[in-house]
Amino acid sequence: MLLKNAKILAVDDDQDVLIAVKMLLRPEVKEIVTEKNPEKIPALLAQNQFDLILLDMNYKSSLHTGNEGIFWLRKIREINKNVAVIMITAYGDIDLAVRSVKEGANDFVLKPWRNEKLLETIEMCIEQAMVANKSKNSATKSTASSVKNSLLGESEAMQDVLYKIEKIAPTDANILILGENGTGKSEVAKLIHQKSLRHKNPFVHADLGSLTESLFESELFGHKKGAFTDAREDRAGRFEAANGGTLFLDEIGNIALPQQAKLLTVLQNREVVRLGTNTAIPIDIRLISATNAPIKEMAAQNQYRKDLIYRLNTIEIVLPPLRMRGNDVVVLAEYFMKLYAEKYRKVLLGIDEKAKDKLRKYAFPGNIRELQHSLERAVIMSDNQEITAKDLDLNSSLEAPVVISSEATTLRIDELEKSTILKAIERHDGNITKAARELGLTRTALYRRLGKYDI
């Protein structure tokens, strides 16, 4: 319906492109205007009210070489801040296209485009211009109203994250989410998918931290029956399962160099080969990755491939730790209080001021995950209509450290460490996250020790 009433301007100095756009859009929109000369953009905007502009990134004129699209995008934004703009670019100029999104474009499309995808992108961008792109504030408010859990918050740091999500979600750009454990990286990945053009297609989550080297290829790329001992049937990997949708690779910093090379090959070729076959299967995914590891520092020490980081990190989102989010801790605490009051059928009206002050002063090394755990226990323990400071036993929300048994039969450091790790894993029934927390390690550090001791 939006398309049928839309008036669109296409600006490109390639006549063939303009003809293709006109043929595609004429039966779909109210009016399509084409123009070869970008110098006429100001006059066209003065005389017409366009809903969307398709703007080429490069022109044959030597003026503003390499940045022609950015130059004219800025001119358009000076004249009309609200009109939707989609940049048209070749694959080799994708970095410039990403920059254009940061400069105010709604999205970009690559030549040659798929007609169906271009129509979907145009409709989505027109809708954005109507609802979300009137101003930065309206965009962040509309995003904040639709998110839950870890993304709730009023701090400037979180509003910047939410605004960035609003801008990049409709694109197909690869995204790398950085942040400490418990900051909500999975929530961000899910929200980006929900707001993307792929939202009707699968969202597939792969936790690379839980995959051994032997399972890596099978889980991600799939296998053929008989490819290895336990391969009893043909199986599609996570890449195939996410085809047409979004693949979220969590704990991307945990994989070893050989696995990094295999992943890079798939991302470069946009195809997978199942274990046990020689057949390449094309894939069409939007990739989102996340890690708490310092992969840029790891790359400087040759522990992580720089070329893989470039593939993962078209756009980067850094999630702030809870201790840097000011009063967001109270906003989140109130959310979790209501959630668990309903779950445990308790009547709780709020959190008293002393309890709020206690929350603000605590550093929350476990971030939102720790806050959620603390509020669940506080709701259970509360005998009042409000959560009090006494109900918030924050220090005990951290797992007690492992104590090495006095019955140990060896004093060799490596044997003691291996034995302690095995006991922690056994105590938590194989749950690596809980075992790592009890040991006072990150999951990445624990996995390194598991590899060291061949556990």
- pLDDT on residue 192: 93
Could you tell me whether strands 271-273 and 280-282 are parallel, antiparallel, or unpaired per DSSP bridges? antiparallel
Q: Is residue 288's pLDDT more than 80?
A: yes
CB 11 within 8 A of CB 41: yes
Mean pLDDT of 389-406: 57
CA-to-CA distance for 92 and 313, rounded, in angstroms?
A: 16
Confidence of residue 140 (pLDDT cuts 50, 70, 90): very low
User: What is the side-by-side strand order in the sheet with 84-89?
Assistant: 31-35, 7-11, 52-56, 84-89, 107-110
For residue 246, what are the β-bridge partners? 203, 286
Continuous segment of H or E residues that includes residue 68: helix 68-79
Q: Is residue 138's pLDDT more than 50?
A: no
Q: Which one is predicted more confidently, 196 or 108?
A: 196
- pLDDT on residue 263: 92
Domain with CATH 1.10.8.60 in the chain: 324-397
Domain with CATH 3.40.50.300 in the chain: 164-318
Q: Is residue 133's pLDDT more than 60?
A: no
Check residue 275 and report its DSSP letter: B
Mean pLDDT of 187-210: 89
Look at the alpha carbons of 81, 85, 90, 94 in this order and tell me if their dihedral is positive or negative. Answer: positive
Q: Residue 443: which residues within 8 A CB-CB, separation 6 or more?
A: 181, 209, 251, 254, 432, 433, 436
SS3 80: coil
Q: Which one is predicted more confidently, 103 or 61?
A: 103
Q: Is residue 48's pLDDT more than 80?
A: yes
Q: Is residue 202's pLDDT more than 80?
A: yes
Identify which of 372, 375, 371 has the alpha carbon closest to the alpha carbon of residue 362: 371
- Which percentage of the chain shows pLDDT scores above 90? 25
Chain-centre distance for alpha carbon 273? 26
DSSP 348-396: --EE-HHHHHHHHH---TTHHHHHHHHHHHHHHH--SSEE-GGG--GGG
Domain with CATH 1.10.10.60 in the chain: 413-452
pLDDT digits (tens, 9 = 90+) for 404-431: 444 444 445 666 777 788 877 877 767 7
CA-to-CA distance for 173 and 192, rounded, in angstroms?
A: 11
Q: Which one is predicted more confidently, 402 or 377?
A: 377
Query: Both tokens of residue 188?
Result: 């961000």
Q: Is residue 402's pLDDT more than 60?
A: no
Question: Does the N-terminal peptide bond of residue 112 adopt cis geometry, omega within 30 degrees of 0?
Answer: yes
CATH 3.40.50.2300 correct for 7-134: yes
- pLDDT on residue 142: 40
- pLDDT on residue 99: 74
Confidence of residue 131 (pLDDT cuts 50, 70, 90): low
Topology given in CATH for the domain delimited by 324-397: Helicase, Ruva Protein; domain 3 (1.10.8)
pLDDT digits (tens, 9 = 90+) for 333-379: 998 888 888 888 888 778 999 999 999 989 888 898 899 889 999 99
Mean pLDDT of 248-260: 90
CA-to-CA distance for 134 and 113, rounded, in angstroms?
A: 28
CB 432 within 8 A of CB 209: yes
Chain-centre distance for alpha carbon 343? 29
Topology given in CATH for the domain delimited by 164-318: Rossmann fold (3.40.50)
CA-to-CA distance for 449 and 455, rounded, in angstroms?
A: 8
CB 111 within 8 A of CB 90: yes
Identify which of 84, 87, 64, 73 has the alpha carbon closest to the alpha carbon of residue 41: 73
CB 84 within 8 A of CB 129: yes
Average pLDDT, the chain: 81
pLDDT digits (tens, 9 = 90+) for 297-313: 888 889 899 999 988 98
CATH 1.10.10.60 correct for 413-452: yes
CA-to-CA distance for 261 and 255, rounded, in angstroms?
A: 10
Q: Which one is predicted more confidently, 94 or 16?
A: 16
